[in-house]
Amino acid sequence: MSDADDSARAEAQPRDGRDGENEGLANTTENRGSEAEEPAKNVPWGRPTAYTAVDGLSECYPMNRRPRGAALIFAHSKFDNKDLKPRPSAAHDAELVRGAFEALEFQPEVFLDLTRNDLEGKLSEVAKRDHSGCDALAIVFMSHGEVKPRNNMEFVWAKDDKIPTKELWINFTAERCAGLAGKPKLYFIQACRGPDVDKGVNMTRAVRGMAVQTDSIEEYVIPIHADQLVMWASYPGFPAFTSQREGIQGSVFIHFLAENLRNYALSSPRPSLSSILLKVSREVAVLYESDIDSQNQYHKNKQVPYIHSTLLREIYF
């Protein structure tokens, strides 16, 4: 294909861009402010009891059940709000993630373009399931992101309305979902987190000379927000990109996440999840640079995923 053809194709459909490229959505930082997460309501003062098969100081989570647990995949492509641009890669990204978690022997469930009520209803329904026979829960959410300027509280969009990002995990904390207490809950969020620009820094390599599960379980107490990992596609305040280059046919973060989860599912021995996600972050940060239009402020921008973790142990699938 000639340079002219490539240029015409870029004008017709940009190869890279912020996921959805919505205008007018406010900047964001981490989810904090006056509307921070609240403990479960109507729970008597004191500690609820949950049962576990792992010693409190064990270094690894048990991962022996098949399927390991549910992998809920929420992908949004169309929105009632006309200020939100369609996300044409949503179905493709959902299929990538479905295949990756299926390879890891989770039980994927894919949901496309749910309304807020349907989304919240599904999360509530899953929280009420019997999770005694599973080892983990995974949730992948792909949509647009937004923030409330008054307190920097983050939101993600369902088909018809936005919800606080914390709603994706608040039903699964230890005191609300006893069946998942002590088990890892993994959340992966593909959504923009703000409009800041990251042009990166040139790095030059310096040359030398120059610049187990146990039979006897003791009782122990865990915090209600323990055993949780949230991985965002981008750093707080920055956009997440999509691309049609170099084998990527949708969200950059989802591409590298699914590729690494799927590839490591076939390896033996399998590395820890932390090392897999470290590789995902490294590949997104190093291998990807946006290529939009030389006059666009997001041309030649970088992206790095962001992890918040309260996991207490390593995960080996």
Catalytic residues: 144, 192
- CB under 8 Å to 135, separation ≥6 — which residues? 61, 62, 63, 64, 65, 68, 69, 183, 184
Residues 145 and 193: their CA atoms lie apart, in Å, by 6
Pairing state of beta strands 153-157 and 162-164? antiparallel
**What phi and psi, each to the nearest 5 degrees, are found at residue 144?**
-90, 155
Contact call for residues 184 and 64 (beta carbons, < 8 A): no
The Cα 265–Cα 103 span in angstroms is 6
